[in-house]
Structure 1
């Protein structure tokens, strides 16, 4: 049963505690268990939650490079955490405790770094154009027989069976990585697919576009145009870029094509699917993606393409000729990706608030600094006896 303000007390009548969690900048759930009475009293107005949720990294180390969402100088003052009743579920492996996701407010405004708040904002912008967003994320993972002491969701279940699921983009050298492909489409409020063309267009610029609507065309153009500038939101870690190796099923350039699984964006149209299932598959993300940030970036880029009526400036892979030259390569390191993302002219600054771009760039710079300071096994094994 869906939770509402009217029935929430009844749904929780036999419970003593409630688990709540918000999503941080690395896609990790940060939460706590609270008394049911405290939760019920906070359903409308929310409750205090330390802003440190956006002040530390995935290993709870504080950002040290001036990240602005929260700071030591500001005492990590509380945000307001608001439960999302539509996210209600019970966690079977934790004694069926009720669970709710949170989004964060500051001075009655969404915190710009809040992943769920960001996604809600993009969905609202789409709704204002009479669009409804649809998406599905395919996550691959590898199981290792090296159980750890903690975990969440899939990892929690796996640990109970003596395995640790690994969602790293490239966990093993010489093997294909773990992808996190994202399928997206738009419908109207009645559910009609807005990427599907009513009738095949035999005079389309390329055959790949014969079944794609004008809205779908501009959406695709927007994503292609933004790709170089939103890479950190699709590939957020150092390891993400180890997956981008040619001939290993991971795209390395700005490419697209109908039913082309080697391109960055695969267009899926009739006859391989029904008109109601026309969609784009964004094949860049790995399984280490931050789903809220990635989805916000894709739909934000697509909406920008529609609003600006952008054109597709690169041919599909099937139509590329020698005159077209080689496709433009995407960043192959997090450092290069962050440089494009944070540049003054970055498309990311059109799609998102300036404060978020600066914040997220700083979090990735923090990750890069830790990487540069690390001494890896490769270095040790290569140089210990030779230098």
Structure 2
């Protein structure tokens, strides 16, 4: 293998010939970030899919969470007959899916069936468009995402049968950094770490988090496209390992109102000629950073309202933004300050920006695309960030806040000239409809909260 867990075409052929690989998962993500696609016979993959790709129904880029066809999209609808798009394997992502028996996995780009160009609305296409702009300036973006999640003793099927109520977390006290509680859950976490390592994803650390049964898993940073692919793979691995072990993990941004939310903090830096382009000798608040660093940070902060649904895409996402909860509520930056939406960490070659806004429910391609586009616009227009904030940002009521509801965030996204100019009007219109569909599904649902509040007392 060219790198542990990854496969070249020749290595795949050898493993198929030896009977070690029988199935290839051919996948892409929908708007929610879920891995969709097909299982392909390994020999047929070599004969056909490897060179010619395969087909998928284009309704998958318009469906809701329940997989219902949703009216109102121009891209795909009943009138157009819900045709096909083309899935083209990116062989740079070909790897062993170590947690599955005799299985390999490859991430695909979604192409238009007629033009054979990238479908502009597909999440991976949106990120690749931003990377094209970056490559034109002969720069690279390196990034990492930190996924938090809750581990529960109930299986997914049990949780469903119990209407997701009265579930048993895998911990019974706040376990942030507690080794003993982490030890109790090693029977799950160690399996995940091993499978990920054997599937080409290097895990750096795992630890307890600030919630009952809450944990975090960190993988090694890489170029931003590879990091997005890895994010999708390791999230899929964690869910499928949990399912096989009769437990469950949830990546809801806010699993319980009295527990900490789960984030997907994004770390990002730009590199040029093999060096960190953020590092510099200029004094900037408490850090030394370059002009590129300063302007990238300025653009990233400024454009949060323009792209907020790409960081926080669900109704539940916004339940996480509570003061004093470790989730950011104000738009400010600081140095090594976990009350800030933007936390600057490291120095020299390790200098980077951590955005703490995205939740664990984000689609990594969209969240990274929004981050990169915002920062690049900051560089292009030399956008200055606000002054470095020192102190408790939760107590700074004068600072601008993050949007607190999906409805508010979608309104800003829909009207944003920055979003339209950056991603294209077609993409903004498509995703606006997607987010509004999610909002309407919530608005028309009768919740347990309503029954408890109004059934007798109203």
TM (norm. structure 1) is 0.90
Deviations 1:3-46 (A, max 9, x none): 45666544543344322111111100111112334322232332
Judged with a 3 Å threshold, the aligned counterparts in structure 2 of structure 1 residues 166 and 221 are, in CA distance, closer, same or farther, namely same
Taking a change above 3 Å as real, the CA distance of residues 277 and 253 of structure 1, as seen in their structure-2 partners, is same
Aligned pairs (5 A) from 1:263-278: 263-270=340-347, 275-278=348-351
Match in the other structure for 2:320 = 243
The answer as to whether partners of 1:211 and 1:269 remain within 8 angstroms in 2 is no
SS of residue in 2 equivalent to 1:25: coil
Counterpart in 1 of 2:167?
Answer: none
Instruction: Give the length in aligned residue pairs.
Output: 371
> Paired residue for 2:155, among 142, 147, 151?
147
Partner of 2:101: 95
Aligned equivalent of 1:318, options 366, 386, 390: 390
2:413 corresponds to which of 335, 341, 346: 341
Pairing partner for 1:260 from 337, 345, 351: 337
- What's 1:164 paired with? 248
Secondary structure of the structure 2 residue equivalent to 1:110: coil
Contact 2:339 2:392 in 1 (8 A): no
Question: Helix, strand or coil for the counterpart of 2:372?
Answer: helix
SS at match of 1:58: coil
Partner of 1:233: 310
CA distances 1:206-233 after superposition (whole Å, capped 9, x unpaired):
x23x411111111111101111111000
Comparing 5-14 with 278-287, greater Cα deviation is found at 5-14
SS of 1:160 mapped into structure 2: helix
Distance 2:15 2:102 in 1: 13
- Pick aligned residue for 2:374 from 294, 297, 301: 301
2:382 & 2:414 partners in 1: Cα distance? 24
SS in 2 for 1:119: helix
Q: Output the TM-score relative to the length of structure 2.
A: 0.77
CA contact (8 A) 2:56 2:85 kept: yes
Q: Provide Cα deviations, 1:37-61, integer angstroms capped at 9, x if missing partner.
A: 4322232332222111102122212
Residues 32, 363 of structure 2: 8 Å contact kept: yes
Structure 1 stretch displaced more, 225-234 or 69-78: 69-78
CA distance in 1, matches of 2:95, 2:245: 23
Would you say the 8 A contact 2:8–2:94 is kept in 1? no
CA–CA distance in structure 2, aligned partners of residues 179 and 377 of structure 1: 25
* Residue correspondence of structure 1 range 1-387 to structure 2 within 5 A: 1-2=1-2, 3-4=7-8, 9-13=13-17, 14=19, 15-40=21-46, 41-64=48-71, 66-106=72-112, 107-149=115-157, 152-190=236-274, 192-197=275-280, 199=281, 201-202=282-283, 204=284, 207-208=285-286, 210-270=287-347, 275-312=348-385, 314-318=386-390, 326-343=398-415, 345-387=416-458
Q: Provide structure 2 residue ranges, at least 5 long, that are not aligned to the other structure.
A: 161-234
**Does the 8 A contact of 2:253 with 2:263 survive in 1?**
yes
Contact 1:250–1:262 under 8 Å retained in 2: yes
Whether contact under 8 Å (1:28, 1:58) holds in the other structure is: no
Q: In 2, Cα distance between the equivalents of 1:298 and 1:37?
A: 40
User: 1:118·1:292 contact (CA, 8 Å) conserved in 2?
Assistant: yes
Tell me the secondary structure at the aligned position of residue 146 of structure 1.
coil
Q: In 2, Cα distance between the equivalents of 1:340 and 1:161? A: 42
More helix by share: 2
Does the CA contact (< 8 Å) of 2:58 and 2:85 recur in 1? yes
Cα separation, partners in 2 of 1:29 and 1:325, compared to 1, 3 Å: closer
Q: Separation in 1 of the partners of 2:329 and 2:417?
A: 20
